[in-house]
Amino acid sequence: MRGARSTTNLLDTRGTVPRDPRSTPAPPKDRIRGSAANLPGSASSARSGRGIRYGEGVTKALERKVAENASRGVTLGMLKSVYRRGSGAYSTSHRPGVSRAAWAMARVDAFLHIVRCGRPRNPRYVQDNDLLPPKLRQRLAKRSAKDKDTLARIKASL
């Protein structure tokens, strides 16, 4: 099979599967704490996100995304908060070769995927659920409760 990889090819010299590069710590040069322009806690909510300042290019890109998703309840404050959180997450861990701006914009795109589809591509992505529009947040909470009930019934039947 062309392009297929067996698990033996994925093993390192110790016989273990290497770690995902996204979970490796960021190098010291990328570990930035805080910002002179944006105060701590400025991304804690969609309302506080309105005061976050970015360059013209980032702001225009976020405004375009708001215009595309305005009917779904997305605001500029929400996207600014998600972008800032993504920039901060870059300081903790990121895939080598990806810029801080690209990492943050990818997080904005993941957030917008939840808004459009009602669920994340990766079920473990829950970091920005507190910024979701209220109606969607309620719908996700109901679905989560329903999933927990189903899981409990399955466990009880075993």
Does any domain span residue 7? no
How many independent structural domains does the chain possess? 1
More confident residue, 13 or 87: 87
Q: How many CB atoms lie within 10 A of CB 82?
A: 26
**What band does 1 get if pLDDT is binned at 50, 70 and 90?**
very low
Does any domain span residue 67? yes
**What band does 66 get if pLDDT is binned at 50, 70 and 90?**
very high
Does any domain span residue 1? no
pLDDT digits 0-9 by tens, 7-33: 444 445 555 555 665 566 666 656 666
Does any domain span residue 11? no
Does any domain span residue 80? yes
Does any domain span residue 52? yes
